[in-house]
Chain A
Amino acid sequence: MTSVTRRRVKIAFGAVASLVVLSAHIGSPDTWFAGTAGPYPVTVLVRAPGVIPGLADVIVRVTGDGVRAVTASPAAYNAGERGVPPADTARTVPGRPGTWTTQLWIMAPGSYSVRVTVDGSLGSGTAIVPVSAVATRVLTMDRRFGWLLAGLGAILLLGAVSIIGAAARESVLSPGEAPDRRMRIRGRVAMVVGMVVLVAALAGGKAWWNAVDRDYRRSLDRRWAAETSVVTAGNGEPRLRFSIADSVWRGRSWRDRAASPLIPDHGKLMHLFLIREADAGVFAHLHPVSIDSATFETPLPALPGGRYRVFADVTHESGYARTLVAEAELPGTGGTVGTDPDDAWFVGEPSAGAAALARGATLVWEHRPAELRAGADAGLEFTVREPDGSIGAVEPYLGMSGHAVIMREDGKVYVHLHPMGTVSQAAQVALRERRPADTARGALGRRLTESGALAAHPGAHQVLEGRAAFPYAFPEPGDYRIWVQVKRASVVETAAFQVRVN
């Protein structure tokens, strides 16, 4: 109901909501999840509340018959069983069979596991949806609404002053007696004094409001400072260095640091994307390794020189997914080898509906909607087609049948998608495996890493059908670039698409 709330605000009070930078994903605050709740395939959309404390809408699409009830509850990552409120029962959406909706009360910012439970003829099952809840919205007061409030406030102020005047002037007179000159002067003096007191109270109220506004803006989720540089390795080849420069992260000790440590997602501590700033014609998906807790490095492939946007996805032990943003100036030279076989890059023009892959195959955007609208299902379904038109095979790439990166061409919207949605798989594991005793920083991360629960699922030998669907809706209109990555014959291949969203 965020959209409903926003519409209500717009209609009723003419207020304008504006989105500011987000770090969980850039400009794309809603959470999408596709997976299963026990025996039931579900797609879950959690609309970000914008302000916190606030209400997040949950929309659950359940496939299959015999579903009796859908419930949802938000559990703060460290709340434990006792801290979870009673689940809210979702209601069906009229005219959309299989779609259920309810609202979650998110009272504090941070990482949540939203538990969606489906109950039906096949039994009961729960899906864990990691949600990184942050305040992102700054609401400015619409001019008309502001004038309306100011006008009503002025009536209240003048009314209060007039009542004070009437009280001093004639309230103690006998019935029928008219106020004499002395009483009239008394009334005027009382009005002046009352006015001074009330205006002082109003000024105090305004100062108070300013302080609340300042505190709120400070509490907004802000983008962490990050830097890049190109350094030369011992073998003379260039390496890209990515540093988290923010004091929140680089505090003197762990005690000072506001965020929990990082855990690997798909086996990688950081997924770094380079996109050429000028035309988005160059794209690279790299996996820097940590030099220390704030510095990451990767060999630089031979990409064309120029300015690049840098998006680096990391997952915290709390389950909080964060995108770090920076820029890089690349020299135009590169190493001959990358150290990580999962690194991949692409230079070329985008396609509209079908992009060429190696050996004559194509990556086809199936059932591409004729017109894409912001907020509507983006219909991101892709298949690998062999030259004869049959569906080709893929191998798991970082544990998934496909990866997608979506960026609006101005860089203000960015999201990294999997067939399981916008969520980080590591976040889901961390939220599921957390025990009440995991209170020390790093304890859970170490346990999960040692157990192999956060490794990229090996299985190069595994063969999947070449299909990948990504649940998503474009958050805002604009020209978007989509890069889809699949792995075939041990090689990661990238295809680019371009769309206009209205």
Chain B
Amino acid sequence: MRSIARTAVAVLIAAALIAIGLIWDIAWHRSVGRDTFWTPPHMVEYVAAIIVGTSCGWLIIRSTVRGTGLEQEHMVRFWGFRGPLGAWVAVWGSLAMLVSAPFDDWWHNAYGLDVKIVSPPHMLLGAGMTAIIVGAWLMTLAEQNRSAEGSRKFPIVFAVASAILLLMLVTITMEYTALPNLWRGRIFYFVSAAVFPLVLAAAARSGRLRWPATATASIFMLASLVLSWVLQSIPATARLAPINNPVTHLVAAPFPIALIVPAAVFDLLHRAVGPGRDWRLSALLGVGFVVALLAVSWPLSGFLLSPAAQSPVFLAGNWDFSATLGAWRFEYWDTMSGGSRGSVVVAFAKVLLLAALFAAVSSRLGIALGSWMRKVRR
């Protein structure tokens, strides 16, 4: 039993390394530019995959060959082997990462070094990385669900795993959501509403802490801030032409989305509505998510783009080496424009309404996932 818990912690560490490596790699691409097999962020990813492969592989082989009955009772069967569900997902993830490597190398030889981040071999790699994080999520979840009522250790560990998953999703969708310039526009609300309620609702439903979604979002924001502060303090020089913005340090991710506010609303609504009314709860969560996100992002973006926020503390000035700097840095993008003030307000209200619908669907899926997750014990 202890070996399963130890493996869960190892996979959680690997999941954290996956997220750190990915965020570091993006910073590397935005500041140094040159991408080789041996960059430090890539090393972090390889280490993560190795940790998963060895720890889960060992657990599975050992449990299958000479595991105690008690241990095997906490596992699922897979092609004659036995292992915890999360371990299987994580092993699948590390295998997917492994397979993507020669595929990606061939891709580079055939079509050139990465012009686009989004390519089939990178999707496979991304699926593998996400699977390792989901594996850590499921393993810590099973530990939480098996732990004694009132024990706080694994509920906290599970919140950390949920936060890593949230960090991963925020990173994957960063093009549409990360910059405060986007926080008064359309795409930010659509993408945020479609993606983030899933994790927050699942965490709210399955976490055993008193404020599970809030804890998840808080850990995510803190981790994101610390990571960005550290990264932007590492010196770096651009190595690819054209260099329009001669950077002196790694270009870090901007100030994180204040998901703590919608998360708190999720926890409150979840408690208030109670069991058996999941459809009604989803509708409320959908509206609550968009209202809370709007209420916090609108003023926060105003502050982050103001002169007062132009300091490293608020992660200002993190622009790519290839960017031609201009006034656009302090403007809002993707906003509603044209027509009278009234028509703009109406159009934006329609955007928010549609976003609330997305958030409701995403929440419903999250609740269904969370309901299943509450019961996961293996």
Contacts and interface: CB of A to CB of B under 8 A. Distances in A.
Interface of A: 5, 9, 12-13, 15, 17, 51-55, 74-76, 79, 82-86, 105, 107, 135, 138-139, 141, 145, 148-149, 152-153, 155-156, 159-160, 162-163, 166-167, 169-176, 205, 208-209, 212-213, 216
Contacts of A74: 241
B239 interface: yes
Given A156-B92, A166-B85, A83 B378 contact: no
A57 B106 CA distance: 19
Given A162-B78, A170-B378, 15 more contacts: A12-B102, A12-B105, A51-B113, A86-B238, A107-B113, A107-B240, A148-B102, A149-B102, A152-B95, A156-B95, A159-B92, A163-B92, A167-B85, A175-B73, A212-B111
B109 A76 contact: no
17 contacts: A17-B109, A79-B242, A82-B242, A85-B239, A86-B237, A105-B239, A156-B92, A156-B96, A159-B88, A166-B76, A166-B85, A171-B376, A171-B378, A172-B375, A175-B74, A205-B123, A212-B119
Contacts of A166: 76-78, 85, 88
Given A84-B241, A166-B78, A205-B120, A13 B92 contact: no
Nearest to A151: B99
A172 B111 contact: no
B89 interface: yes
A176 B95 CA distance: 29
Interface in B86-103: 88-89, 92, 95-96, 99, 102-103
Contacts of A213: 111
A83 B321 CA distance: 11
Given A84-B241, A172-B376, A175-B73, A163 B78 contact: yes
Contacts of A208: 120
Given A13-B102, A86-B239, A171-B378, A163 B89 contact: yes
Contact of B243 (A55, A83, A205): A83
A145 B107 CA distance: 13
B308 interface: no
Q: Which 9 residue pairs of A and B lie closest in terms of their CB atoms, listed nearest first?
A: A83-B242, A172-B375, A139-B110, A176-B73, A175-B73, A166-B76, A51-B112, A53-B113, A85-B241
Contacts of B375: 172
A17 B79 CA distance: 39
B272 interface: no
A190 to B, nearest CB: 11
A375 to B, nearest CB: 19
A209 B95 contact: no
B111 A51 contact: yes
B106 A153 contact: no
B88 to A, nearest CB: 5
Interface string B313-354: 000000000000000000000000000000000000000000
Contacts of A55: 113
Interface string B118-138: 011001000000000000000
B275 to A, nearest CB: 17
B85 to A, nearest CB: 5
Contacts of A105: 34, 113, 239-241
Nearest to B85: A171
A159 B378 CA distance: 18
Contacts of B74: 175
Contacts of A135: 112
B113 to A, nearest CB: 4
Interface in B19-55: 34
B99 A51 contact: no
Contacts of A169: 76
A122 B243 CA distance: 32
B241 A75 contact: yes
B193 to A, nearest CB: 23
A88 to B, nearest CB: 8
B179 to A, nearest CB: 24
A188 B115 CA distance: 41
Contacts of B119: 212
A274 to B, nearest CB: 37
A149 B98 CA distance: 11
Contacts of B78: 162-163, 166
A13 B119 CA distance: 20
Given A135-B112, A139-B106, A79 B241 contact: yes
Nearest to B239: A85
B246 to A, nearest CB: 9
B208 interface: no
B372 interface: yes
B377 A174 contact: yes
B77 to A, nearest CB: 6
Contacts of A159: 88, 92, 95
B233 interface: no
B77 A163 contact: no
Contacts of B69: 176
B151 interface: no
A11 B154 CA distance: 48
| Interface hub of A5, A83, A155, A163 (most chain B Cβ within 10 A) | A163
Contact of B238 (A85, A145, A155): A85
A426 to B, nearest CB: 24
A149 B103 contact: yes
A347 to B, nearest CB: 45
A159 B241 CA distance: 43
Nearest to A175: B73
A5 B92 contact: no
A5 B99 CA distance: 20
Nearest to A146: B106
B244 interface: yes
Contacts of B70: 175
Interface in B190-245: 237-244
B243 A82 contact: yes
Which of A15, A82, A149, A159 gathers the greatest number of chain B CB atoms within 10 Å?
Answer: A159
Nearest to B321: A85
Given A53-B115, A156-B95, A176-B73, A209 B109 contact: no
A13 B238 contact: no
Contact of B109 (A15, A82, A149, A171): A15
A89 to B, nearest CB: 12
Nearest to B118: A208
B99 A156 contact: yes
A162 to B, nearest CB: 6
B241 A173 contact: no
Nearest to A6: B109
Contacts of B244: 82-83
Contact of A216 (B110, B376, B377): B110
Contacts of A76: 241-242
Contacts of B77: 166, 170
A76 B77 CA distance: 58
Given A54-B112, A82-B243, A167 B106 contact: no
A9 B102 CA distance: 10
